[in-house]
Amino acid sequence: MMEISGSVTEQIKQAAKNYPNRRSAIMSALYLAQKNYGCLTEEVLEAVANTLNVPEIWVFELATFYSLYHTKPIGKFHIQLCTNISCLLNKSAAIQGYIETRLQIQNGETTDDGKFTLSTVECLGSCDKAPALMVNETYYENLDVRRTGEILDQLNGDN
């Protein structure tokens, strides 16, 4: 059976000290595990449950409820394009169309080389700088097609 690596286990145990019970630390543990392993496979979820000594179902139900947890593999660069109202009104659909054509993937898909995943997401809180997207944890705002092209060029060169 898989075990969570020593340094991540340490971080999880540290996070658990912030709460009066272990169940409250599951979200911190899932975040740390995903950051380290990329994806929350069943194996990883089991290992998280063992690390915190909580029932597996407690871990599994959170991993499948919250949208930032990935139980299936995603690309190295996760493009999260906001399509909520302020971005919609500022032509996020054109950005989506450009990305889909250039990367030859649809919303929710990953490129064959495993480099890019495209997801349309709800409001990112960049409404005054719409349209906006995130790549992994980095925000890109005030987008147009040209700027989006530059971002993809840069990520492509960044191995």
Joined together, the tokens standing for residue 27 give 């979200």
Site residues (CB under 8 A) for another protein, limited to 64-103: 65-69, 83-86, 88-90
Told to check if 51 binds another protein by CB under 8 A, we report no
Told to check if 122 binds another protein by CB under 8 A, we report yes
Q: Are the C-beta atoms of 19 and 30 separated by less than 8 Å?
A: no
The Cα 134–Cα 124 span in angstroms is 8
The nearer residue to another protein, 66 or 104, going by C-beta atoms, is: 66
Calculate the alpha carbon distances from 127 to 53, 141, 142, 143 in Å. Answer: 41, 9, 9, 12
Q: What is the dihedral of CA 80, 116, 149, 107, to 10 degrees?
A: -50
The nearer residue to another protein, 51 or 126, going by C-beta atoms, is: 126
Told to check if 25 binds another protein by CB under 8 A, we report yes
Listed in order, strand segments (DSSP E) in the chain are: 77-82, 116-121, 133-135, 138-140
The nearer residue to another protein, 67 or 156, going by C-beta atoms, is: 67
The nearer residue to another protein, 104 or 136, going by C-beta atoms, is: 136
Binding stretches for another protein (CB under 8 A):
18-21, 23-28, 30-31, 58, 61-62, 65-69, 83-86, 88-90, 122-130, 134, 137-139
